Amino acid sequence: MKRSTINTLVAQAGDMIARHGFVLPPFADWSPADFTAHRHSAAHLIDARCGWDVTDYGAGRFDEMGLVLFTLRNGVLADLNAGRGMCYAEKLLISRQDQLSPMHTHKIKAEDIINRGGGTLVVELFGSNAAGRLDPDAGGQVMCDGQWVTFDAGDKLRLAPGQSVTLRPGDWHAFWGEGADVLIGEVSTVNDDETDNIFHEPIARFSRIVEDAAPTRLLVSDYDNHFNAD
Protein backbone atom coordinates (compact mmCIF):
# COMPACT_ATOMS: atom_id res chain seq x y z
CA MET A 1 0.00 0.00 0.00
CA LYS A 2 1.16 3.55 -0.65
CA ARG A 3 1.86 5.63 2.45
CA SER A 4 -0.13 8.49 0.93
CA THR A 5 -3.17 6.19 0.71
CA ILE A 6 -2.67 5.05 4.31
CA ASN A 7 -2.52 8.68 5.48
CA THR A 8 -5.84 9.37 3.76
CA LEU A 9 -7.49 6.23 5.14
CA VAL A 10 -6.43 7.04 8.71
CA ALA A 11 -7.83 10.58 8.40
CA GLN A 12 -11.10 9.24 6.99
CA ALA A 13 -11.30 6.66 9.78
CA GLY A 14 -10.83 9.34 12.42
CA ASP A 15 -13.66 11.36 10.88
CA MET A 16 -15.99 8.36 10.80
CA ILE A 17 -15.25 7.43 14.40
CA ALA A 18 -15.97 11.01 15.48
CA ARG A 19 -19.27 11.05 13.54
CA HIS A 20 -20.39 8.06 15.61
CA GLY A 21 -19.66 9.97 18.82
CA PHE A 22 -16.60 7.98 19.87
CA VAL A 23 -13.68 10.02 21.20
CA LEU A 24 -10.27 8.46 20.67
CA PRO A 25 -7.49 8.81 23.26
CA PRO A 26 -4.91 11.58 22.75
CA PHE A 27 -2.24 9.25 21.31
CA ALA A 28 -4.48 8.70 18.26
CA ASP A 29 -3.47 12.20 17.12
CA TRP A 30 0.25 11.89 17.76
CA SER A 31 2.53 12.55 14.82
CA PRO A 32 5.65 10.38 14.44
CA ALA A 33 7.59 13.16 16.17
CA ASP A 34 5.08 13.20 19.05
CA PHE A 35 5.41 9.45 19.45
CA THR A 36 9.18 9.76 19.56
CA ALA A 37 8.93 12.47 22.22
CA HIS A 38 6.70 10.20 24.34
CA ARG A 39 8.61 7.00 23.64
CA HIS A 40 9.55 6.35 27.29
CA SER A 41 6.23 7.19 28.94
CA ALA A 42 4.41 5.42 26.09
CA ALA A 43 6.54 2.27 26.18
CA HIS A 44 3.49 0.11 26.92
CA LEU A 45 1.59 1.51 23.93
CA ILE A 46 4.53 0.67 21.69
CA ASP A 47 5.20 -2.79 23.14
CA ALA A 48 1.50 -3.72 23.16
CA ARG A 49 0.97 -2.41 19.63
CA CYS A 50 -1.72 0.10 20.51
CA GLY A 51 -2.61 2.62 17.82
CA TRP A 52 -3.45 2.71 14.11
CA ASP A 53 -3.33 -0.24 11.74
CA VAL A 54 -4.27 -0.35 8.04
CA THR A 55 -4.09 -3.56 6.05
CA ASP A 56 -4.93 -4.90 2.63
CA TYR A 57 -3.72 -8.36 3.72
CA GLY A 58 -0.89 -8.07 1.20
CA ALA A 59 -3.30 -8.50 -1.72
CA GLY A 60 -3.17 -4.94 -3.06
CA ARG A 61 -6.97 -4.68 -3.31
CA PHE A 62 -7.91 -2.61 -0.27
CA ASP A 63 -11.35 -1.62 -1.55
CA GLU A 64 -12.25 -5.31 -1.92
CA MET A 65 -10.32 -6.79 1.01
CA GLY A 66 -8.96 -4.66 3.81
CA LEU A 67 -9.52 -3.06 7.19
CA VAL A 68 -8.66 0.02 9.24
CA LEU A 69 -8.16 -0.59 12.96
CA PHE A 70 -7.29 1.32 16.09
CA THR A 71 -6.18 -0.58 19.21
CA LEU A 72 -7.23 1.44 22.24
CA ARG A 73 -5.74 -0.83 24.90
CA ASN A 74 -4.04 -4.20 25.06
CA GLY A 75 -2.76 -6.40 27.85
CA VAL A 76 0.26 -8.66 27.93
CA LEU A 77 0.51 -12.38 27.29
CA ALA A 78 2.38 -12.92 30.56
CA ASP A 79 -0.70 -11.78 32.48
CA LEU A 80 -2.97 -13.89 30.32
CA ASN A 81 -0.76 -16.94 30.92
CA ALA A 82 -0.79 -16.22 34.66
CA GLY A 83 -4.58 -15.86 34.64
CA ARG A 84 -4.58 -12.45 36.28
CA GLY A 85 -3.67 -8.87 35.53
CA MET A 86 -4.27 -7.04 32.23
CA CYS A 87 -5.74 -9.92 30.24
CA TYR A 88 -7.93 -7.87 27.87
CA ALA A 89 -7.84 -5.69 24.76
CA GLU A 90 -10.14 -3.25 23.00
CA LYS A 91 -10.19 -2.16 19.35
CA LEU A 92 -12.20 -0.20 16.86
CA LEU A 93 -12.39 -1.46 13.28
CA ILE A 94 -13.88 0.04 10.15
CA SER A 95 -15.25 -2.40 7.60
CA ARG A 96 -16.36 -0.64 4.45
CA GLN A 97 -19.42 -1.67 2.52
CA ASP A 98 -18.71 -5.03 0.81
CA GLN A 99 -15.06 -4.91 1.96
CA LEU A 100 -14.00 -8.38 3.08
CA SER A 101 -12.01 -9.21 6.18
CA PRO A 102 -11.02 -12.73 5.10
CA MET A 103 -11.74 -16.04 6.78
CA HIS A 104 -9.60 -16.63 9.87
CA THR A 105 -9.58 -17.85 13.44
CA HIS A 106 -7.42 -17.44 16.54
CA LYS A 107 -5.49 -19.91 18.67
CA ILE A 108 -5.74 -17.90 21.89
CA LYS A 109 -8.00 -14.89 21.54
CA ALA A 110 -11.70 -14.88 22.34
CA GLU A 111 -13.48 -11.75 21.16
CA ASP A 112 -16.76 -9.91 21.15
CA ILE A 113 -17.38 -8.31 17.74
CA ILE A 114 -19.87 -5.45 18.14
CA ASN A 115 -21.66 -3.38 15.52
CA ARG A 116 -21.14 0.14 16.91
CA GLY A 117 -22.95 1.89 14.08
CA GLY A 118 -23.44 2.28 10.35
CA GLY A 119 -24.66 -0.53 8.13
CA THR A 120 -25.23 -4.21 8.85
CA LEU A 121 -22.21 -6.27 9.89
CA VAL A 122 -22.26 -9.65 8.13
CA VAL A 123 -20.26 -12.43 9.83
CA GLU A 124 -19.77 -15.71 7.94
CA LEU A 125 -19.06 -18.71 10.18
CA PHE A 126 -17.55 -22.19 9.97
CA GLY A 127 -16.51 -24.69 12.62
CA SER A 128 -13.17 -26.49 12.98
CA ASN A 129 -12.09 -30.07 12.43
CA ALA A 130 -10.10 -32.06 14.99
CA ALA A 131 -6.86 -30.43 13.80
CA GLY A 132 -8.30 -26.94 14.23
CA ARG A 133 -8.56 -26.27 10.49
CA LEU A 134 -11.69 -24.95 8.82
CA ASP A 135 -14.20 -27.73 8.26
CA PRO A 136 -16.43 -26.85 5.27
CA ASP A 137 -19.16 -29.07 6.70
CA ALA A 138 -18.97 -28.06 10.37
CA GLY A 139 -21.21 -25.68 12.21
CA GLY A 140 -21.22 -24.84 15.89
CA GLN A 141 -22.53 -22.40 18.46
CA VAL A 142 -21.74 -18.78 19.17
CA MET A 143 -23.18 -16.34 21.66
CA CYS A 144 -25.04 -13.30 20.33
CA ASP A 145 -25.73 -10.68 22.99
CA GLY A 146 -25.68 -13.29 25.73
CA GLN A 147 -27.83 -15.88 23.93
CA TRP A 148 -26.56 -19.07 22.31
CA VAL A 149 -27.10 -19.32 18.57
CA THR A 150 -26.49 -22.52 16.58
CA PHE A 151 -25.01 -22.07 13.11
CA ASP A 152 -24.49 -24.37 10.13
CA ALA A 153 -21.33 -24.25 8.02
CA GLY A 154 -21.27 -21.06 6.00
CA ASP A 155 -24.15 -19.39 7.82
CA LYS A 156 -24.08 -15.62 7.86
CA LEU A 157 -25.05 -13.63 10.92
CA ARG A 158 -26.37 -10.15 10.18
CA LEU A 159 -25.72 -7.83 13.09
CA ALA A 160 -27.55 -4.51 13.24
CA PRO A 161 -26.04 -1.58 15.16
CA GLY A 162 -25.88 -2.50 18.84
CA GLN A 163 -25.76 -6.26 18.24
CA SER A 164 -22.72 -8.46 18.84
CA VAL A 165 -21.29 -11.96 18.55
CA THR A 166 -18.80 -13.73 20.82
CA LEU A 167 -16.20 -15.75 18.92
CA ARG A 168 -13.89 -18.26 20.56
CA PRO A 169 -10.70 -19.96 19.31
CA GLY A 170 -11.69 -22.35 16.54
CA ASP A 171 -14.66 -20.29 15.36
CA TRP A 172 -13.69 -19.49 11.77
CA HIS A 173 -15.09 -16.17 10.62
CA ALA A 174 -15.01 -13.56 7.88
CA PHE A 175 -16.93 -10.29 7.90
CA TRP A 176 -17.89 -7.24 5.86
CA GLY A 177 -20.23 -4.26 5.88
CA GLU A 178 -23.60 -4.52 4.16
CA GLY A 179 -25.58 -1.48 3.03
CA ALA A 180 -23.02 1.00 4.38
CA ASP A 181 -19.65 1.20 6.11
CA VAL A 182 -19.67 -0.24 9.65
CA LEU A 183 -17.89 0.91 12.80
CA ILE A 184 -17.01 -2.23 14.74
CA GLY A 185 -15.97 -2.60 18.35
CA GLU A 186 -13.83 -5.50 19.48
CA VAL A 187 -13.43 -6.48 23.14
CA SER A 188 -11.17 -9.47 23.60
CA THR A 189 -8.53 -11.28 25.53
CA VAL A 190 -4.97 -10.10 24.88
CA ASN A 191 -4.45 -9.39 21.19
CA ASP A 192 -1.37 -10.64 19.30
CA ASP A 193 -1.77 -9.84 15.61
CA GLU A 194 1.69 -11.12 14.72
CA THR A 195 1.16 -14.75 15.76
CA ASP A 196 -2.52 -15.31 16.62
CA ASN A 197 -4.25 -14.73 13.28
CA ILE A 198 -4.71 -18.03 11.43
CA PHE A 199 -5.98 -17.41 7.90
CA HIS A 200 -7.75 -20.02 5.80
CA GLU A 201 -5.94 -18.80 2.68
CA PRO A 202 -2.18 -18.03 2.66
CA ILE A 203 -2.31 -14.24 3.02
CA ALA A 204 -0.42 -11.67 5.07
CA ARG A 205 -1.75 -9.89 8.15
CA PHE A 206 0.27 -6.73 7.46
CA SER A 207 0.83 -4.80 4.23
CA ARG A 208 4.06 -3.91 2.51
CA ILE A 209 4.24 -0.10 2.48
CA VAL A 210 5.52 1.98 -0.43
CA GLU A 211 6.94 5.16 1.11
CA ASP A 212 5.70 7.73 -1.41
CA ALA A 213 4.93 10.26 1.35
CA ALA A 214 5.86 10.95 4.96
CA PRO A 215 3.57 9.26 7.51
CA THR A 216 1.12 11.53 9.31
CA ARG A 217 0.48 8.79 11.89
CA LEU A 218 2.57 5.75 12.71
CA LEU A 219 1.02 2.35 12.22
CA VAL A 220 1.63 -0.38 14.77
CA SER A 221 3.66 -2.15 12.08
CA ASP A 222 5.95 0.92 11.91
CA TYR A 223 6.99 0.86 15.55
CA ASP A 224 9.95 -1.51 15.32
CA ASN A 225 11.61 0.28 12.42
CA HIS A 226 10.77 3.78 13.62
CA PHE A 227 12.03 3.39 17.18
CA ASN A 228 15.01 1.22 16.31
CA ALA A 229 16.10 3.78 13.74
CA ASP A 230 15.56 6.75 16.06
pLDDT at 204 > cutoff 90: no
Distance CA 86, CA 148 (A): 27
Count structural domains, the chain: 1
Residue 128: which CATH number? 2.60.120.10
Q: What is the predicted pLDDT for the residue at 217?
A: 98
Given a cut of 90, whether residue 228 has pLDDT beyond it is no
The pLDDT score that the predictor gives to residue 230 is 56
Q: Which residue range forms the structural domain that includes residue 197?
A: 3-229
- Inter-residue contact 109 to 118 (CB < 8 Å): no
The answer to whether residue 229 scores a pLDDT higher than 90 is: no
pTM for the structure as a whole: 0.95
Measured CA to CA, the distance from residue 132 to residue 158 in angstroms comes to 25
Q: What is the pLDDT of residues 210-224, one digit of tens each?
A: 999 999 999 999 999
pLDDT-based confidence at residue 202 (cuts at 50, 70, 90): confident
